[in-house]
Structure 1
Amino acid sequence: MMKEIDAKGLACPKPVVLAKKAITSNQKVLVIVDNQTAVSNLTKLGKKMGAEVSVVEESETEFRVLFKKSKSSDSENTESDAENNGAKIYLISADTMGDGERELGQILIKGFISTIKELDPLPKRIIFLNSGVKLATKEDIIFYLKELEELGVEIFFCGTCVDYYGLQEEIKVGEISNMFEIADNLNREDLVTI
């Protein structure tokens, strides 16, 4: 039997949260959403949970996303969780560092991001939210973020924040994420807040 969830009109991360709960206890789940960002977030969730994901129907106002759970999904997810334990993540929530003069804060955040690649060990992930997502539009910062990605550091940007600032077309590095994935990461990892 297939579980169906109508998540149209629900703000991030509610569609992902509802889908995750349903996938945990059902072999097939159909989630109906009304925007492409939700489809992208659901696709990431499905991959993370080891489920097959497909958009089975799409119109201007509605997307139907189908999840099919494989028999090995639960064990793969548990192994993935074990690998993440103890890894550090950095949370960058502003496009400056510190509370002083803005110009100084911009110099400091650029210096900080350019220095990360010299650290041992490297962080597993860097998450940008609020005005921190604006850093992904600055060429000199993008250069350092691409270097970090090449070294294996995962770069995530809050999708709600990217949408709020209208930066969808300007993000050229990393992944657009969602609040469920961000909260899940913050819950599991050693956190360094910038």
Structure 2
Amino acid sequence: MHNKIDVRGIQLDQALTLLEQALTAEKHASLEIQSSEQENTTALLKALAEHGASCEVLQAEEGQTIIASFAAEQVMKQKSYVVGSDTLGKGDDVIGHKLMNAFFNVSSDYEQAPASIFFMNTAAKLCVEGADALAALQKLEEKGTEIIVCGTCLDFFGIKDKLAVGRIGTMHDLIGIYHNQKEVISL
């Protein structure tokens, strides 16, 4: 969710109060703040950094615009997915492909994202050029999800040169996920 606040022409303590209210009201993927005083902008940037935001400041005639991103807070740090097929569910592969693509498309619309997703076996095909789920996986990667694709699987299917999202991984990556994450969901 994106939110805007305007602190132009108000005192520093009021500007900080408005920021705190915006931050505690609900979680935001990003926050846009209009500021006219450099002192306010500096203090707001410091407060945003304390909340884990990464910020960009745009200059304009009427002051500054701070764009704060809270993408790091969106990542579910203790949850990972392990995907072993390009279909979801057992049974018909046609509906299974549609369900898997729908799963990632819907998942990418949520504010929260898993810490990592490991793709192996036919699931590696979901991460290559032309794959139906590619845009959704790229969106999850932009939110901070680490996309890891089994290198042995890419080699087996002859698609290593078509990898379009994530990085090539090994069995060490998969074992690391199982050892280090509190929750691993297998699809």
Structure 1, gaps ≥5 residues long: 1-84
Look up the equivalent residue of 2:109 and give its one-letter code: E
Q: Tell me the SS of whatever aligns to 2:80.
A: strand
Look up the equivalent residue of 1:153 and give its one-letter code: T
Q: Tell me the SS of whatever aligns to 1:152.
A: coil
Q: Tell me the SS of whatever aligns to 1:164.
A: helix
Look up the equivalent residue of 2:184 and give its one-letter code: L
Q: Say yes or no: does 1:193 pair with 2:182.
A: no
Task: Identify the residue that residue 163 of structure 1 maps to in structure 2.
Answer: 155
Specify which of 79, 103, 109 is matched with residue 100 of structure 2. Answer: 109
Task: Identify the residue that residue 122 of structure 2 maps to in structure 1.
Answer: 131
Superposition pairs for residues 17-96 of structure 1, below 5 Å?
87-96=78-87
Structure 1 residue 142: Cα displacement = 1.1
In structure 2, distance between residues paired with 1:112 and 1:174: 18
Structure 1 residue 174: Cα displacement = 0.4
Let me know the Cα RMSD of the aligned residues: 1.9
Specify which of 100, 116, 121 is matched with residue 112 of structure 2. Answer: 121
Q: Say yes or no: does 1:147 pair with 2:139.
A: yes
- How many matched pairs? 111
In structure 2, distance between residues paired with 1:139 and 1:98: 19
Structure 1 residue 119: Cα displacement = 3.4
Q: Tell me the SS of whatever aligns to 1:169.
A: helix
Structure 1 residue 108: Cα displacement = 0.2
Structure 1 residue 118: Cα displacement = 3.1
Q: Tell me the SS of whatever aligns to 2:96.
A: helix
Task: Identify the residue that residue 88 of structure 2 maps to in structure 1.
Answer: 97
Q: Tell me the SS of whatever aligns to 1:140.
A: coil
Q: More strand by proportion, 1 or 2?
A: 2
Q: Tell me the SS of whatever aligns to 2:113.
A: coil
In structure 2, distance between residues paired with 1:178 and 1:90: 15
Structure 2, gaps ≥5 residues long: 1-75
Structure 1 residue 86: Cα displacement = 5.9
Look at both structures and tell me which one has the larger radius of gyration over its CA atoms. 2
